[in-house]
């Protein structure tokens, strides 16, 4: 695309979304700093690997030296015991924000989740301004992630964009995805927009494809400069169940059930 993003760090670079971001941004950056506790191998002269634990604040700060922006994708991506979520998702995010503050980064992109509002009913369109209603302990940890981003924006002047990421898969694979699907192309588009948006002190936006039956308002994403291109309806057969009415009456789907949380309590 000819876009130059400077030096961008990506935490959780070995994960599903991190791997897609790595491939998608590699030719648009001057340097790509890949951070994960899993072992990675550089695939380009532009890539720099840091194998570390995000709970190690000093190591995170050192890895962010010279970066212009960071895309923070690292952490536990599913329901888990609260102490683990606080340790990895919340503490890890704090270390990334503190490292960004100390190293003078111009932009921090935080991976939040649609599960911060998973207790809204499927028939309601949710905007970022509405109160959070997490559907589980994982959602609670992401509420804290957003709160940390807000604190660092207000108190320290960091530019922070929180993306409430939908169901990131190659194609929709369950009825709920007809409302929540985020295609790899749109996922990269939202992240690129979050990195390049001009005036963004603190922004929360839903990152979801242009699904006919989506639960969430995407105006904030358009304000960042990205309008999604894909629609889950075009990826499934005509006999597929309407995602807005199938299964659970709550937007979080199975995550909103008591069993999903009780097993980790």
Q: What span, in angstroms and rounded, lies between the C-alpha atoms of 56 and 22?
A: 23
Rounded Cα distance, 128 and 7, in Å:
29
Q: Which residues are known catalytic residues?
A: 138
Q: What is the CA radius of gyration of the chain?
A: 18
User: How many of the other CB atoms lie within 10 Å of CB of 98?
Assistant: 18
């Amino acid at each position: 695309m000819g876009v130059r993003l400077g030096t961008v760090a990506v935490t959780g670079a070995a994960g599903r979304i991190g791997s897609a971001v790595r491939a998608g941004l590699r030719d648009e950056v001057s340097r790509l700093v890949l951070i994960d506790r899993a072992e990675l191998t550089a695939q380009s002269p532009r890539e720099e690997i840091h194998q570390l634990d995000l709970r190690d604040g000093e190591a995170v700060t050192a890895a962010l030296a010279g970066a212009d922006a960071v895309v923070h994708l690292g952490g536990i991506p599913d329901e888990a015991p609260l102490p683990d979520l606080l340790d990895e998702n919340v503490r890890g995010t704090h270390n990334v924000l503190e490292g960004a503050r100390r190293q003078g980064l111009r932009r921090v992109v935080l991976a939040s989740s649609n599960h911060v509002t998973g207790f809204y009913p499927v028939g309601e369109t949710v905007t970022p301004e509405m109160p959070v209603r997490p559907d589980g302990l994982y959602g609670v940890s992401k509420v804290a992630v957003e709160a940390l981003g807000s604190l660092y924006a207000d108190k320290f002047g960091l530019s922070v964009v929180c993306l409430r990421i939908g169901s990131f898969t190659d194609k929709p694979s369950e009825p709920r995805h007809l409302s929540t699907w985020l295609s790899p192309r749109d996922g990269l588009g939202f992240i690129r927009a979050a990195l390049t948006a001009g005036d963004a002190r603190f922004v929360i936006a839903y990152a979801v494809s242009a699904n006919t039956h989506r639960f969430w308002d995407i105006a904030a994403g358009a304000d960042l400069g990205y309008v999604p291109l894909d629609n889950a309806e075009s990826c499934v057969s005509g006999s597929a169940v309407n995602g807005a009415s199938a299964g659970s009456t709550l937007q979080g789907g199975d995550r909103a059930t008591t069993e999903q949380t009780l097993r980790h309590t």
